[in-house]
Chains A and B, each alone.
Chain A
Amino acid sequence: MNASLSDSFRKTIKKDFHQWLVAAPFVLPGLVLVAVFVIYPMIFTIRIALSEYQIVRGTITFLGLDNFVKIFSDSNGRFWYALRNNLLYGVVTTPLIVIMGMVLAYLVNNIRRGSTFFKVALYLPVITSWVIVSLVFTYMFNNSDRGLFNYLLVNVLHISKDYIPWLLREWPGNFAIWLMGVWKNVGWAMIIYLAALQGISPSLYEAASLDGAGIYAKFRHIVLPSLRPTTFFVLVNMVIGSFNVFIQVMLLTGGGPNGRTSVLQYMLYDEAFNKFEFGVASAIGMLSAIFIVALTVILNKTLKLDTVEDGGAGA
């Protein structure tokens, strides 16, 4: 700061300082931790993305945009496949999660007995750890006749003649990843929709009943319109979530064959922890962060809601 501070400026500083003193005991402990272990690492990541980083020797050599060029010009097009798979994951799983979550919530909301049981039971996949779920799915999608899916398709239903090497092929592998995503997230959407359904005034239903509306008509004309904001919320979360897909790819397919089932986060992990290409990994991280932020902004603008502000408010 300059030595020539005007008096009023000095006063403002003093007032700011006082406010800071009042806020410090509350904000500072968290801020120190966040600054050291979250914000500083993020800035460091940007630096690594523009450099070649040798973690053992601790040297950072500035490269400019070389890492990005490397990513975009890779002869296998790994980045583009990963990006495609992130987008496909969102496009395929989101509608299924929205529709199934909504329907299940509507059913649970209208059942006379046992709603609690169904609510908790259908929520179980959400609280089951990704590692555990991935292990079970690896087993169920086993490549031989010992996997559940192959056994059903070939031995029971006779749909396919040969056993499908699920986790070794591009589309079967992606299918397994999608299926797991849907299975894991439907319960979450259901709970969100249930909360919204319980907010619909009962008088609306009663009026509809008097008009002779059946269960379908009520769903079509009362429930669906009231759930619009919730649907947008679920949609935004699922689309953003599709850029955070990682563990199922790591444990199910390992991105194979040749990166065809990979996603950005897995590619990042692979570059950093298998190939020790931290610069490339950080550049991928930056790119996916840009995608996520851009998607959030676009979705919020087009759907005209501020999820970030309202999402966390208690229901």
Chain B
Amino acid sequence: MKKAGIKASEIAGQAMIWMLLLAALFVSSIPFIFMITNSFEEFSYVLPNPPRIFPTRLDFSAYEYIISRSDFPTAVKNSVINTFGTVGFAVFISMLSAYGFARIKFKGREVLFRIYLLTLMVPGFLNIIPQFVVLKSLAIPGFPDGLVGTRPGLMLIYIATGVCGHTFFLRNFFRNLPDALSESALIDGGGHGVIFFRIMLPLSTPAIGTMSIFAIQGMWEEYFTAKVIVGAQESMLTIPLLLQRLNGQHATRWEWVFACSLMALLPIVILFVVFHKKLVVGGLTSGSVKE
């Protein structure tokens, strides 16, 4: 961009852009403003009339209430462990798979990869019934219900369902890395293990980081699988399950729901604000085919 010679029309153009973007931002922010405003209110089960867009007061008692709930620490703890445990395992296993698909020739590779792709197109939560049955039938001593209602059971499903998508994304990334790199390692007598850990891993940090961030966001908000697999276990409560609990069937204390929502949202927003410059946009596109 040229710095010199900013004309009047240029300034007018910029002003126009600002106005349009601010307008768009306002419209897209309404739900957030609404949440924030109403989280400061006290409704005692009745909605205010007229509805409030802008806050009339600054009161954090809804937040205090949520934090002081006895199930809140449980939900936070479980959400953190589930999210990071799942993403850690899923990303590592997928990196290995992706490397195998991208860099090692073996019979049936293309067919297998096509199958992985196909699974991405099928609505995932249809599998929840058979997944539940599989977990239940895993006969492990000390677990009368198999792995239903346990963290390992939930995480196994999370990891497994993440593998196909992650593998797909990382395989493309590994394939686009220059062959010369791994050839030189092969000549030096290094096997695939050496290439993977010494060359591919360091080179693919941007891709892995991007993918992990989107995976963290997805796991953090995961509701459905958790509901089915561990929904009956109070000790396995997660933040999305807690949110749904707060949203009572007939009477809802909306300030609690919004306070809890905003607290659940904050870590994700911080994550994206901190890392947005490092995100590889390909990560966005690969995650979009499936919710």
**A residues within 8 Å of B by Cβ?**
16, 19-20, 22-23, 25-27, 29-31, 33-34, 36-42, 44-45, 48, 55, 100, 104, 107-108, 110-112, 114, 116, 118-125, 127-133, 135-137, 139-140, 142, 144-148, 151, 155, 183, 186-188, 191-192, 194-195, 214-215, 233, 237, 240-241, 243-244, 246-247, 265, 268-269, 272-273, 278, 281-282, 285, 288-289, 292-293, 296, 308-309, 311-315
Contacts and interface: CB of A to CB of B under 8 A. Distances in A.
Contacts, number: 284
B96 A125 contact: no
A311 B285 contact: yes
A26 B258 CA distance: 44
B82 interface: no
Nearest to A187: B28
B205 interface: no
Interface stretch (B56-64, B179-187, B216-224): B216-224
Contact of B160 (A22, A36, A129, A192): A36
A39 B164 CA distance: 11
17 contacts: A23-B106, A34-B116, A34-B164, A37-B134, A37-B161, A42-B130, A45-B126, A127-B268, A131-B240, A136-B34, A278-B129, A285-B122, A288-B123, A289-B126, A312-B173, A312-B285, A314-B281
B83 interface: no
B276 A40 contact: no
Contacts of B265: 128-129, 132
Contact of B123 (A111, A244, A314): A244
Contacts of A100: 24
Contacts of B280: 314-315
B51 interface: yes
B156 A33 contact: yes
B284 interface: yes
Nearest to B14: A112
Nearest to A286: B126
B188 interface: no
Given A19-B106, A309-B172, 9 more contacts: A39-B115, A45-B126, A121-B25, A139-B34, A187-B28, A244-B291, A313-B173, A314-B281, A315-B280
Interface of B: 1, 9, 13-14, 17-18, 20-21, 24-25, 28-32, 34-35, 38, 47-51, 53, 93-94, 96-97, 99-101, 104-107, 109, 112, 115-119, 121-123, 125-127, 129-131, 133-134, 156-157, 159-161, 163-164, 167-169, 172-173, 176, 192-193, 196, 206-207, 217, 220-221, 223, 228, 240, 243-244, 247, 254, 257-258, 261, 264-265, 268-269, 272-273, 276-277, 280-286, 288-291
Contacts of B48: 146
A22 B192 CA distance: 8
Say what secondary structure dominates the interface of chain A: helix
B28 A312 contact: no
Contacts of A124: 28-29, 32, 269
For the complex of A and B, the 5 pairs showing the least CB-CB separation, nearest first, are A129-B221, A26-B100, A41-B130, A37-B160, A285-B126
Given A120-B273, A285-B126, A288-B123, A237 B285 contact: yes
B117 A135 contact: no
A139 B47 contact: yes
Nearest to A292: B121
B21 A104 contact: yes
B264 A129 contact: yes
A124 B50 CA distance: 27
A111 B117 contact: no
Contacts of A30: 93-94, 96-97, 163, 167
